[in-house]
Structure 1
Amino acid sequence: MRIVVVADHAHINGGLAKVAIDGAKGFARRGYRVDFFAAVGPVEPSLTEAGVAVTLLDQADVLSTSSLARFGVQWLWNGAASRALAKLLATCDSDETIVHVHGWAKALSPSIGAALKNAGLPVVHTLHEYYLACPNGGFYDYGAARNCDYEAMSLGCIAHNCDSRGYHRKLMRVGRHALMRYGSGLYGTARHLITISKLQREAIAPYMPKDAVFYEVGNPIDVEDLGPKGDGTPGDFVFVGRLSAEKGPRYFAQAARLAGVTSVFVGEGPERAALEAEFPEARFLGWRSPAQVREILRGVRALVFPSVWYEGQPLTVYEALALGAPVIVSDICAGREAVTDGENGFWFRCADPQSLAAAIGKLKDDALAKRMSQAAYARYWADPLTLERHLDAVAAVYEKVRADWREAPSVAAPIEALS
């Protein structure tokens, strides 16, 4: 089998890219022929070292562009990406190939839909985000700092400014979404969908084609089995992640103050300055490398994960549990699926500092913290999310998608690619 992986970035800049790159390398090591198609470099060296053929457009994303106006055109319709992907797919044998789309919204744009549709190859999408359903990709209202109440692309949705940068950007998102849905062919390729949690499927299923087929495959967790934690005194309550409103760091700081404990933050983001000013008692450790983060998680009393949006599968939650750290998690994000309330952590009501403070208060008990640490470690390693198990599950999906395609290959009219 030949696997063509499609993603915005050819280097690891977040969870989506890491899963796409680790998966590509894993399948190459298993003997598959793997192509990696991406817009933004540099190329992760380990990709080519693993034997993956990389097609890099060497384009910009919104963070690296030298011209927002020029990038805006690319963001709406990346004609170069459509043409390059079509050229690559033209070399593929339809009986032996599957295309796996991990991400397109940051740089590739909806234009890749034309290439996918016209190639007539079996396609599967992994839904790391919600861009196939929601214009801003997250069912999240940045102005109100909470989940959005509107049906995506309804009149209420279109009229409401949920964008973090202003209503003009929201209208651009609406226009791009309409282009994706009705003019690119991309939405039509989204019949086979890998979701990474039950919550994610529940959130996005109403917006997908009626004949869509869902497969739940959790992302692999890159963590070493270090054994149960020792008998030392449990450490601090710690937040790990981007310091931005949708991650809920302010609720943690408020709850820690109510519970009489010190809040510790690992990460950077736009909320840091305001948090430091409002909560001088908190500790801010800044950015840390993945190895340093794992070392910190190994020593915490609990990870606090107060996210206020529908995160599909927060990897930090699973890493913490694997390292023997209980997790206090918001009841609105998919991290709750890894936490049995009262056993290896606690759920709390989303955006409710009092509810979070109550959970923190319970884990101030050293004996309870140690019992939950043991449970966190034991439950995770009884069914670990390893890369090899992830590859097995994805390979099984590929076979199902290819079998379905052989029974009813696409015969739809071609989509005219825009220049």
Structure 2
Amino acid sequence: MQIVLVADHAAINGGQAKVAIESALGLASRGYDVTLFAACGPVDARLEPAGIRVVCLGQDDVTTTRNPLAFAAQAIWNGHAADALARELARYEVGATLVHVHAFAKALSPSIGRALRAAGHPCLYTMHEFFLVCPTGGFYDYRAGAICHRTPMSASCIGTNCDARSYPRKVARMIRHVGLSHVARLPQLFEHVITISTLQESVVRPLLPPGTVMHRVDNPVSLAQAPLQEGAPGDFLFVGRISTEKGAPIFAEAARRAGVKAVFVGDGPDRDELAARYPEAVMLGWRDPAAVADLMRGARALVFPSIWYEGQPLTVLEALACGTPVIVSDACAGREAVVDGETGYWFRSGDPEALAAHLRRLTDDALAARMGRAAHDRYWTAPLTLDTHLDRLGAVYDTVMRPAAARRRAAAGQRSPAPMAV
């Protein structure tokens, strides 16, 4: 089977690209012929030595463009990407090729739908976020600081300025969504969709065409099993983007109320403001994955106070794998990995006093250690390794390919010469 993975980026710049690239490497190691088609470089140095064909267009995304107007046009309809993808897909045999789309919203645009439909290969889409059904991709109202429950592209949605930057940017995103829905018709094209959490599936299912087949494939966690760290637990830890939607201000305020130290690993738009308002908080900036794992193993608990849905936050899973309890907002998908009262706590989303109450509880060293052991034991009974991810992905690929493979075999049989009479 030929697998063509489609993504915005050819190198790891976040969780979405990490899953795409790590799965590409894993699939190649299992003998699949793998191609990665991406808009933006650089190219991960591991891909080509692993035998993976890489097609990278060298385009910009929103973080690298020097021409915002040109990029806005690219984000709405990237004709160059559509043409390049069409040429690439023409290389492969129909019935023996599967196209797995991981991302399109940051650079490729919905224009890829034109190439995918014309090529005729079975398609699969992993919903790392919500751009397939929500024009801003997150079901989050940045102005209100709350989850958005409006129907996408309804009159209420169109009239609401919910974008993180400006209403004109939302208008551009809505124009893109019209192209996605009515020109590229991506929701109809992706008859098979991979989801990564139960919450995500419950949110998107009513918005997808009837008959869409959903497959649950958890993201892989790359941490190796290690012994639990000895000694008293350390401080409470936040890892990720320091921003309002991630709940960073709620953690800082809750830590002050509880009289505990808040340690932030990461960066983001709220960092300077929080550092000024809460000088007792520790701001470590970004750290490499090994350093983050070490910080997690020594932490009293990971605090994940996100106030939007999330997809399947890897930070929560990594903390549990490290043997660190997790205190998580009850509104986000991260709660699905935490057994409330056993491997951590859920708290009422957006409520710093509710979070502070759990922080106070976990100042008890014995309780923190007990929850850490429970988190470690529970996670490692069924770890989300790359092999587990690939096993499940292979089963989904077989399901998606089955009708096309049957048609290919039937066509081959019709072309075979009739047996000679004896």
- Alpha carbons 2:252, 2:278 under 8 Å: kept: yes
| Paired position in structure 2 for 1:268 | 267
- Which runs of structure 2 are paired with 1:240-319 in the superposition (5 Å)? 240-319=239-318
Shift of 1:95: 1.7
Q: Does 1:111 align with 2:111?
A: yes
Confirm or deny: 8 A CA contact 2:124 2:191 kept in the other structure: yes
Q: 2:121 maps to which residue? A: 121
Per the TM alignment, residue 187 of structure 1 is displaced from its structure 2 partner at its CA by: 2.5
Tell me the amino acid that sits aligned with residue 225 of structure 1.
Answer: Q
CA distance in 2, matches of 1:6, 1:186: 14
Deviation at 1:405, TM superposition (A): 4.2
Tell me the residue number matched to 2:34: 34
Q: What is the CA distance between 1:150 and its match in structure 2? A: 1.2
- Conservation of the 8 A alpha-carbon contact between 1:229 and 1:373: no
Q: In structure 2, what is the equivalent of residue 208 of structure 1?
A: 208
Deviation at 1:261, TM superposition (A): 0.6
Q: What are the Cα deviations for residues 281-337 of structure 1, in whole angstroms up to 9, with x where unaligned?
A: 111111111111111001000000000111110001000000110000001111111
Partners in 2 of 1:45 and 1:377 — Cα distance? 33
**Structure 1 letter corresponding to 2:106:** K
Query: Aligned equivalents of 2:308 and 2:275: distance in 1?
Result: 23
State the AA in 1 paired with 2:143.
G
Output one character per residue of 1:144-203: Cα deviation in whole Å (capped at 9) or x when no partner.
111113111110000000001111111111111011000113222121000011111011
Cα deviation digits, residues 347-401 of structure 1 (max 9, x gap): 0000001110111111111110010010010000000000011001001000001
Partner of 2:48: 48
Secondary structure class of the residue paired with 2:47:
helix
Cα deviation for residue 228 of structure 1 reads 2.5
Q: Deviations over 1:78-121 (max 9, x none)?
A: 00100110011111111211000000000000000000011111
Distance 2:62 2:77 in 1: 14
Equivalent residue number for residue 226 of structure 1: 226
- Number of the residue aligned with 2:189: 189
Letter in 1 for 2:383: P
State yes or no: 1:77 paired with 2:77: yes
1:219-272 C-alpha deviation (Å, 9 max, x unpaired): 000101002332x01100010001111100000011111111111111111100
Q: Aligned with 1:58: secondary structure?
A: coil
CA contact (8 A) 2:96 2:405 kept: no
Q: Could you tell which deviates more after superposition, 251-260 or 181-190?
A: 181-190
AA aligned to 2:81 is A
Give the letter aligned to residue 271 of structure 2: R
Counterpart position of 1:360:
359
Question: In 2, distance between residues paired with 1:26 and 1:16?
Answer: 16
Q: Which residue of 1 aligns with 2:394?
A: 395
Aligned twin of 1:163 = 163
2:95 and 2:407 in contact (8 A); partners too: no
SS at match of 2:46: helix
Match of 1:348 in 2: 347
Provide the rounded CA distance (Å) in 2 between the counterparts of 1:331 and 1:408: 46
Deviation at 1:204, TM superposition (A): 0.8
AA in 2 matched with 1:48: E
Larger Rg: 2
Task: Please give the alpha-carbon distance, in whole angstroms, between the structure 1 residues aligned to 2:177 and 2:146.
Answer: 21
Shift of 1:408: 8.3
Tell me, in whole angstroms, the C-alpha distance in 2 between the residues paired with 1:64 and 1:291: 27
Residue 407 (structure 1) shift: 6.6
Match for residue 101 of structure 2? 101
Aligned residue pairs total: 408
1:328 aligns with 2:343: no
CA positional deviation for 1:10: 0.1
Q: CA deviation at 1:404?
A: 3.9
SS at match of 1:38: strand
Structure 1 unaligned spans of 5+: 410-419
2:415 aligned residue: none
2:245 match: secondary structure: helix
SS in structure 2 opposite 1:246? coil
Report the AA paired with residue 176 of structure 2.
Answer: R
Amino acid at match of 1:240: V
* Worse-matched range after superposition: 300-309 or 356-365: 356-365
Return the alpha-carbon distance in structure 1 between the equivalents of residues 113 and 308 of structure 2. 28
Identity between Structure 1 and Structure 2 (%): 55
> Are 2:261 and 2:280, in contact at CA under 8 Å, matched by a contact in 1?
yes
Q: CA RMSD in A?
A: 1.1
CA distance in 2, matches of 1:151, 1:358: 35
Partner of 1:376 in structure 2?
A: 375
Instruction: Give the residue type in structure 2 aligned to 1:43.
Output: V
> In 1, Cα distance between the equivalents of 2:206 and 2:48?
39
Q: Conserved in 2, the CA contact under 8 Å of 1:117 and 1:186?
A: no
C-alpha distance in 2 between matches for 1:310 and 1:191: 23
Do the aligned residues in 2 keep the contact of 1:113 with 1:187 (CA within 8 Å)?
no
In structure 2, list runs of 5 or more residues that go unmatched. 409-422
Query: Is residue 58 of structure 1 aligned with residue 54 of structure 2?
Result: no
Stretch moving more, 282-291 or 384-393: 282-291
TM-score, length-scaled by structure 2: 0.95
Residues in 2 aligned to 1:202 and 1:185: alpha-carbon distance in whole angstroms: 22
> Amino acid of the residue matched to residue 56 of structure 1?
C
